[in-house]
Amino acid sequence: MTKTNSSILRGYFDEVVNQKHLDLLSKYLDQLPKYFSEKFIGHVPLYVSMGIMTDESSGVKVTIQSVNPGSPAEGKLMVGDEILHVFDGARAWLTFDELREGVWGQGALGTLITIWIQRENVEHEIPLTRGLVRGFEFPYHLLVPSIIEYFKDWRDLKVRLVNVIETGDLVAYHAEYQGYNVRYRRIAMWAELGFVRFRDGKITDWWSEEDKLSQLKQLGYTIQEPELVKK
C-alpha cells in the first residue's frame, strides 16, 4: 500500500522528533535517508539580521557555517570564520555560552553591529549593518547537524500534530511542541505552522514558522519597551 505524503510527515515527527531516531536522517551503508531527499532545501522566512548560519557543535567555539548571498555578511564574513566577540552598542557577547544563544544577530533594521572574528589565526574587526535577509536556504548537508545540535538542548521534546492538510505534492501542518530545555532548565510549549513538499516519498522542501516569541519568554527572556524615536 502506497503511503500518502501526510502519513510520511506524521512518521517523521513520530520517529525523529518524538522517538529521537536521528539515524533515520543520514545515510547508513547502502540505505538512503528515510525521510529527506538529498536534494532537500530548507527555506527560512524573511528576517532582519546578518544572513549567516553558525555551528556551535564543538562545544567551545562558534564558527560560520554558511553565508547567505545578498546578505549584509556577504563579502565580509566567510565560512570557517570563528566568531570571538560581538558588540552592538547596547550589549556585548563575549563568551561561547553568550554567543551560542544566537540572538546577537537580531535587531532593528539599519543598526550597527561589530563582530570580531579569527580567520587563519588572524583577528579581524568587522563592522556590519543589520539588513533584510531574503529567502535564506540551507541544503541537506546542513540539515542533519543542525537537528542533532538542536536536540542537545531539547532532549525530551515532543510534538503533536493538530492539523494536517495534503494537496498535490504539498502538505500543510499545524504542530504543538513541548519540552524541557537543558540549558535554561525550563519547560516551554509553542506552536509551529509549515508547508512540506514531497517527491517520490521524500521531503524536498520545507517552509515553517515557529512562535519563537512565546518560546523565548517561557525560557526566561524579557522584552523591554523601546524609547520612542523622535521625528
Q: Give the Cα separation of 7 and 217 in Å (integer).
A: 33
Q: Which domains does the chain have, with CATH numbers?
A: 5-44+136-218 (3.10.450.50), 47-133 (2.30.42.10)
Q: What is the DSSP letter of 28?
A: B
- φ, ψ for residue 58, nearest 5 deg: -70, -25
Give per-residue pLDDT as tens, 53-65: 898 888 899 999 9
Task: Answer for the pair 210, 219: CB distance below 8 angstroms, yes or no.
Answer: no
pLDDT beyond 80 at 25: yes
pLDDT reported for residue 72:
94
| Per-residue cell: 38 | 538529498
Q: What is the DSSP letter of 79?
A: T
**137, β-bridge pairs:** 43
pLDDT reported for residue 1:
56
Mean pLDDT of 22-47: 83
pLDDT reported for residue 227:
74
pLDDT reported for residue 116:
97
pLDDT reported for residue 76:
96
pLDDT reported for residue 229:
66
On average, the pLDDT of the chain sits at 91
Give per-residue pLDDT as tens, 106-157: 888 999 999 999 999 999 999 999 999 887 788 998 888 889 889 999 999 9
Secondary structure class of 100 (helix, strand, coil): coil
pLDDT reported for residue 84:
97
Mean pLDDT of 194-218: 96
Mean pLDDT: which of 92-101, 148-157, 164-173 is highest? 164-173
176: closest CA among 167, 186, 184, 188?
188
Least confidently predicted of 24-38, 127-141, 194-208: 24-38
Mean pLDDT of 161-166: 97
pLDDT reported for residue 29:
44
